[in-house]
Amino acid sequence: MAEEMSFCVRDVMNRPLFQRAKLIAGRSGGYREVRWVHILEITHAAPYVSKNDLILTTGLWLKRSVHSGLDYMRQIIDHETAGLCIEFGTTIDEIPGEIIRLCDDHDFPLILFRQPVRFEEITQDIHSFLINRHFGLMKKLEEFSQKQQQLILQSTDIPAILRLLQSYTEGQIVYLSSIKSNKFYPSVKKETAEAINRFCNNKLKNFDQFNETQVWKMDDTTSIVVQPVICFGQVFSYIGLMIQLPHLTEYTKLLLDYASKAVATVLLRTQFLEEKILRNQNELIQDILSQQIDSEEQAQMRMGLPSPDESRYLFIGGIIEFEHNVFEDGPERMETMNQDLSVLIRSLLNRFQMHHLMMMKNNQFYLLCAKEKVSGESTESLKQSILNMISGLRKFAEEALGGLNFHVGFGKTRNQLVETWKSFKEAYQVIEVSQTVPAMKHCCFYDKIGIYQLLEAVPEPLLNSFVNDHLGALISYDVLHHLNLIGTLDVYFKCMGSKGETAKELFIHRQTLYNRLEKISDILGEDFFEPQKRYCLEMALLGYELLGENG
């Protein structure tokens, strides 16, 4: 097995030159890996040792004092060296009990040669073995990589990649998918599979919470090494390997890393192939937008829903609009970015188990999502899945696309697919509000934009006239004198007329606020805070913000 390919202290004890050596402390540390051998006699050892070094010494540092000896031991233990070999007869003839207890407490192997030995023969023997072993492992890894590449070129068969991995590790492989049920290579009994699934599901409360290799201890003898499969910065699945030792070898890490990259390649290629096949969905979304479909059953069948039923599904339409920099990116770069975004969005929707259609038009993606009604909370579940998708998309945009800005809008859920054209219309309004109103920048759903639902329904000329009727004089005064009376009035209303809170929010002196309020009162009238007039002014302020300063 791959775990046995680690060269450990117990393997060192089986070498011919160690036949007369004795392990006198740290017996439980026999699993410690040995990667190199050093001869070290100086007391200040820390700068000269590395993790997994086996130290050879005559014990010269022990002649000074027990305290000095303990300090030396703590240095090499803290640096996670593999163990210490001491030769009797040349410098020392006994080892203090305090040092033996320290080694036992840390499971640190302490090996004793009671007769003088040639350290250069030991180093030559172990170094030759390690170099030859390393060369052998590299050949096996190259062989594994070549076979894996052949599999990738021949098909999109992920199980074949996992079976190849299993043949090289000789351990139990578990494939943890965010979309489909977990798979085992080789297959295991139902009870074993259920136990492993429970353990893994408990560890993976949030599926994409780990983006690096993890080692999960199942019991005293068994652990699972988990390697994430990452595409576009998102975790789409994990490859698990069950091992019997409490540590993980570099060989095993590399095998898992190679396999995870191969699976990621297959997943991406599959998604790109599906993307080409699914482009004909544009026609269905276009027909829905133009209201050319009357039959609900026909619409659901064209969407490819299992068991079409007029009362079985919830539907929602949405739009994602990206702010590409045409001059910097150029048309070719934009097309590539849109292709990647399209594959990522579809993968995220699949991951969160949403039936969907998608249409790309310039810098906009039209999404039509469906989810089965299973309870009274199905609507909230659908929205949460959408929010999770947006979160994954935002993470990719920040990490891989230089913080590319985008706006998202989704309309209200509908019980019929043919009615989702209304949802798309509402989605447009959500995006308009999020683009013009800073406080609504991250709002994604139509039912969350509140009063802006009403303002968006008002024809722009009528809304513009309303704003000018109630705030025109104030706006004109601000243009001439730059006193920010509009902003002051807005904050004054939001602070419920509290002058102290208003001054604090605006970062101005109270006397400055009094002067501004006096000027507002001169322009609007002293009754501007009375309920009826205040309602109109607050609505006009919202409309002014929605229209923009040039509205």
Q: How high does pLDDT run on average in the chain?
A: 86
Q: Which regions of the chain carry the CATH code 3.30.450.30?
A: 155-273
- Tens digit of pLDDT for each residue in 201-245? 888 876 666 778 888 888 888 889 899 998 877 788 899 999 876
Whether the predicted pLDDT of 3 surpasses 50? no
Instruction: Assess whether the previous peptide bond of 531 is cis (omega < 30° from 0).
Output: no
- Give the amino acid at 485: L
**The two three-digit tokens of residue 302, written as one number:** 């064209």
Cβ neighbours, 10 Å, residue 269: 12
Mean pLDDT of 513-541: 91
Q: Which regions of the chain carry the CATH code 3.30.70.270?
A: 293-455
pLDDT at 378: 86
Which CATH number is associated with domain 458-547?
1.10.10.2840
- Tens digit of pLDDT for each residue in 336-383? 788 888 888 988 888 888 888 888 888 899 999 998 887 778 899 999
In this structure, the strands spanning 313-322 and 355-361 are unpaired
* Domain 155-273: top CATH class: alpha beta
Whether the predicted pLDDT of 483 surpasses 60? yes
- Tens digit of pLDDT for each residue in 43-94? 787 888 889 999 998 888 777 788 888 888 999 999 999 999 999 877 777 8
Q: In what order do the strands lie in the sheet with 223-231?
A: 183-185, 173-177, 234-243, 223-231, 214-217
- Provide the CB-side half-sphere exposure for 193 (13 A, CA): 12
328 or 519: which leads in pLDDT: 519
State how far the Cα of 79 lies from the Cα of 49, in Å rounded to an integer. 7
Q: Kind and range of the H or E element at 85? A: strand 83-87
DSSP per-residue codes, 335-389: HHHHHHHHHHHHHHHHHTT-EEEEEEETTEEEEEEEEE--STTHHHHHHHHHHHH
Q: Which regions of the chain carry the CATH code 1.10.10.2840?
A: 458-547
pLDDT at 433: 92
Cβ neighbours, 10 Å, residue 153: 7
458: phi then psi, degrees, rounded to nearest 5: -80, 130
The alpha carbon dihedral of 124, 128, 131, 133 has a sign of negative
Cβ contact 207:178 at 8 Å: yes
Mean pLDDT of 467-476: 92
Cα-only R_g, the chain? 35
Cβ contact 285:359 at 8 Å: yes
Whether the predicted pLDDT of 460 surpasses 80? yes
State how far the Cα of 341 lies from the Cα of 163, in Å rounded to an integer. 31
Q: Which regions of the chain carry the CATH code 3.40.1390.20?
A: 2-127
Architecture of the domain whose range is 2-127 = 3-Layer(aba) Sandwich (3.40)
Which CATH number is associated with domain 293-455?
3.30.70.270
Q: Is 94 in a helix, a strand, or coil?
A: coil
pLDDT at 277: 56
